[in-house]
Amino acid sequence: MGYLDGFKVTFKKLLEFPRLTKNYVKDEGGKRAKPARLHGRHVLNRYEDGMEKCIGCELCAGVCPAKCIYVRGADNPLDNPVSPGERYGFIYEINYLRCIHCDLCVEACPTEAITESKLFEFSFTNRADAIYTKAELVVDDDGLPQQLPWEDWSDLDLVAAATSAWVRATSPSGVADYEGKVAWSGELGFGVKPPEPAQEGDD
């Protein structure tokens, strides 16, 4: 009976354990190991000497499809530069009511200043809270961004690791010669990250 086979399928699934989906483990800290490339809230990284990586070029704001990033660059003060080079981002705001976590800002960034961490639990309750400013995004001296009241950081061992993000460009511009070679600068609190294992297969 072709028509009734479907009923068998759904009934079988009813009795099949464990379920395909997994429970949200908020009670266990909600911090099951995340995929390496998960797109969570952003962080603005710093070099290992404490200099900010952001140079205020506004490429991230330009590429953002949701128009959620607002950046203004300014000249570095000569006596106390914020970033290496001429300019730095002196305003940096991300509106999380608009952000779609597409990671295009990260790809656009020439200095790996902005990356997307694996922190995804940030449910603010008003519009003002949705706008993360530079104060929240730039990492502190320990390499962690600012914790906000609505973010659960109870399990710091897991959270700290999740604040550093995977960055692309194992082989810049797709040049195979650079595959497996480190092509990025060190990150405050995390150092120079190891290269990705060389990709195999033809994908």
Partner 1 sequence: MTSFASLTSQVFALDPLLIGEFGWAEVGIVVLKAVVTFAILLVSVMLMVWFERKLIADMQHRFGPNRAGPFGLLQTLADGTKLFFKEDLVPDRADRVVFALAPYLSLVPAFLTFAVVPIGGGFDGEKNGTVELFGKETYLQLADPPIGVLLILAMSSIAVYGIILAGWSSGSKYPLLGAVRASAQMVSYEAALGLSVVAVVLMAGSLSTHDIVLQQSGSGFDLFGDFGLPRWNLIATGVVPFVIFLISGTAEANRPPFDLVEAEQELVGGFNTEYSSIRFAFFYLAEFMNTVTLSAIIVTLFLGGPAGPTLAGPAWLWGIVWFVLKLFVFLFTFVWFRATLPRLRYDQLMNLGWKVLIPLSLAWLLLLGAINIGRDEDWNLYVVMGASFAVLIIGWAAIAGALRVGQARHADEEAADSGDTEGVLV
Residues that bind partner 1 (CB under 8 A): 6-7, 9-11, 13-14, 16, 19-21, 23-24
* Nearest approach, Cβ of residue 14 and partner 1 (Å): 5
- Stated as kind and residue range, the H or E segment containing 92 is strand 87-95
Residues contacting residue 173 through CB under 8 Å, at least 6 positions apart: none
Minimal distance in Å, beta carbon 30 to partner 1?
12
Contact 120, 89 (CB under 8 A): no
Judged by CB, which is closer to partner 1: 2, or 197?
2
Identify which of 65, 62, 68 has the alpha carbon closest to the alpha carbon of residue 98. Answer: 68
Residue number, 22 or 200, with CB nearest to partner 1:
22
Smallest distance, partner 1 to C-beta of residue 8, A:
9
The answer to whether the Cα torsion of 144, 150, 156, 159 is positive or negative is negative
Closest CA to 195 of 173, 175, 169: 169
Task: Select 4 or 128, whichever has its Cβ closest to partner 1.
Answer: 4
Closest CB to partner 1 among residues 10, 125: 10
Length of the chain: 203
* Distance in angstroms (rounded) separating the CA atoms of residues 167 and 159: 18
Least CB distance to partner 1 at residue 9 (A):
7
The distance of closest approach from Cβ of residue 28 to partner 1 in the complex, given in angstroms and rounded to an integer, is 14
Best CA proximity match to 34, nearest among 117, 138, 143: 117
Closest CB to partner 1 among residues 17, 35: 17
